Amino acid sequence: MSCRVCSGRLTEFADFGRQPVSDAFVTPGDTREEFSFRLAVGICETCTMVQLLEEVPRERMFHEAYPYLSSGSSVMREHFQALAKSLLATELSGPDPFVVELGCNDGTMLRSIAEAGVRHLGVEPSGGVADLAASKGVRVVKDFFEEATARRIRDADGPADVIYAANTLCHIPYMESILSGVDALLRPDGVFVFEDPYLADILERASFDQIYDEHFFFFAAGSVQEMARRSGFELVGVERLPVHGGEVRYTLARAGARRRSPAVDELLAAEASAGVTDLATLRGFAARVERTRDELVELLTGLRDKGATVAGYGATAKSATVLNYCGIGPELVPFICDTTPAKQGRLTPGSGIPVRGPEAFAGPYPEYAVLFAWNHAEEIMAKERAFREAGGRWILYVPEVRLV
């Protein structure tokens, strides 16, 4: 157990017990034993990168039937359209630009690039979602990005002006191979832009459900700066993003190739004063999460005992951690509604809760609904306004357990 960035020693600060693969929804009647691993998090004593202590083999998570669809949220569709528009106006405005996206999923971002007629390539190992991207006119290769993939792309298409990854880089433990791949593929003054959940936001909101098999790294400006430096890159830009419960968009360039934005030093200073990588902060987070678990279980048990009707909303990968860590099954949450076709008719991994389409929510409305997709609260609460109007109450557990 050593750091996947610098081989330094890891100190564990939180343990969520045995967990299933978060997106491995189970077919009812399938009695095969589910794969499980120990979900625990630690911090590197040398480079401060926060990371999982056990790695799930990538083929168990990302394969033909990977169910997650980036296009499932209108807020995220707009977010990616805005990013594409901004890249087209800046980094991709030169002659014959070329952009590569890692983890392009169903092509939600790259379709805007394709529609603008700009050279692009999505690298996406999950075959089903890669096919969806292709059906939108996106050029996609079904593969894991790593050094060898990067070299093949460079040989076939030439250097990239921009390499982009959203909610994907933090999924990849083999970081050395990724950064050598970026080095092989990126034009000398090109940029590597990636956005992922922000450690400081996770700690502040106690959003422990950001911790699951796919989220291997929990980035902060300090750890990303050190990770970049070790591979000959420099952190030259940071931008905080409101999506998915708080993220940061990092921009790396080769050392000395770009001017470094003052926002980097501001974020580094904010991290230092908040003590985001202090063991005391991390242990405080773990203690707060235990309280959240106890309060959520107490609330749901009380509701069951008084005969109230309860449902879940959003069979998120995040919910796997909540359900399995808290020991919540169908006796407390009888079903969860979700728009994703590949999740419907299945059971949540480990916890065995049936997933139904969103139409099941209104038939009739439950009295209480646990909002597992709390990062899409605004969008879902607006869409399901009638639930509140009918007297329903949302149950949230981030940043604390409460009724809305």
Are residues 18 and 323 in contact, defined by beta-carbon separation less than 8 angstroms?
no
> Rounded CA gap, 215 and 225, in Å?
19
Type and span of the H or E element at 119:
strand 119-123
Q: Whole-angstrom Cα distance, residue 368 to residue 216?
A: 32
Q: Answer for the pair 325, 17: CB distance below 8 angstroms, yes or no.
A: yes
Contacts with ligand SAM in 92-121 (CB under 6 A)?
Answer: 102-103, 105
Instruction: Note whether 210 and 18 are within 8 A (CB).
Output: no
Whether residue 311 contacts residue 337, with contact meaning beta carbons closer than 8 Å, is answered with yes
Cα–Cα distance between 404 and 339 in angstroms, integer?
A: 22
CA-nearest of 164, 183, 267 to 233 is 183
Per CB under 6 A, the list member of 13, 16, 25, 68 interacting with ligand SAM is: 68
Identified binder of ligand TMP from the candidate list 222, 314, 349, 350, rule CB under 6 A? 314
Is position 66 an interface residue for ligand SAM (rule: CB under 6 A)? Answer: yes
Using CB under 5 A as the binding rule, whether residue 46 contacts Zn ion is answered as: yes
The SS3 assignment for 274 reads: helix
CA distances from 141 to 102, 124, 264, 266 (A): 10, 6, 33, 38
Please choose, from the candidates 393, 353, 347, the residue with its C-alpha nearest in 3D space to the C-alpha of residue 370. Answer: 393
373 contacts ligand TMP (rule: CB under 6 A)? yes
- CA dist., res. 177 & res. 363, Å (int): 50
Tell me whether residue 166 or residue 248 sits nearer to ligand SAM (CB atom): 166
What single-letter DSSP state applies at residue 343?
T
8 Å CB contact between 40 and 12: yes
Of residues 113 and 380, the one with the C-beta less far from ligand TMP: 380
105 binds, among ligand TMP, ligand SAM, Zn ion, none (CB under 5 to 8 A by kind): ligand SAM
Give the residue with the Cβ less far from ligand SAM, 216 or 397: 216
> Residue 6 or 322: which CB sits closer to Zn ion?
6
- Residue 321 is a binding residue for ligand SAM (CB under 6 A): no
Per DSSP, helices labelled H in 206-328 are 221-230, 262-274, 279-305, 317-326
| Residue 145 binds ligand SAM (CB under 6 A) | yes
Which residue minimizes CB distance to ligand SAM?
Answer: 103
Helix, strand and coil content of the chain, in percent to the nearest 5, comes to 40, 25, 40
Residue choice 81, 261, 339, 388 for contact with ligand TMP (CB under 6 A): 339
Residues 159-178 that bind Zn ion (CB under 5 A): none
> Among residue numbers 53 through 72, which ones bind ligand TMP (CB under 6 A)?
72
* Smallest separation, CB 196 to Zn ion (Å): 17
Nearer to ligand TMP, 112 or 316 (CB): 316
The partner in contact with residue 167, picked from ligand TMP, ligand SAM, Zn ion, none with C-beta cut-offs of 5 to 8 angstroms by kind, is ligand SAM
Query: How far apart are CB 73 and ligand TMP at their closest, in Å?
Result: 4
Question: Which residues from 350-369 bind ligand TMP, rule CB under 6 A?
Answer: 358
User: From the list 41, 43, 44, 296, which residue makes contact with Zn ion (rule: CB under 5 A)?
Assistant: 44
Residue keyed to tokens 């050392």: 255
**Using rule CB under 6 A, residue 376 touches ligand TMP:** yes
Cα angle 156, 174, 249 (rounded to 5 degrees) comes to 80
Considering only 4, 111, 171, 249, the residue that binds ligand SAM (CB under 6 A) is: 171
Q: Minimum distance from CB of 210 to Zn ion (Å)? A: 20
Which lies closer to ligand SAM via its Cβ, residue 342 or residue 360? 342
Residue 296 binds Zn ion (CB under 5 A):
no
- Give whichever of 217 and 374 is closer to Zn ion, judged by the CB atom: 217
Catalogue the E-assigned strands of 302-354: 310-313, 336-337
3 contributes a contact to Zn ion by CB under 5 A: yes
Residue bearing tokens 């990849």: 172
- The number of helices, as runs of H, and strands, as runs of E, in the chain is 13, 17
Residues that bind ligand SAM (CB under 6 A): 62, 66, 68, 70, 102-103, 105, 123-126, 129, 144-145, 166-168, 171-172
Q: Give the footprint of ligand TMP on this chain (CB under 6 A).
A: 72-73, 314-318, 338-340, 343, 358, 373, 375-376, 379-380, 383
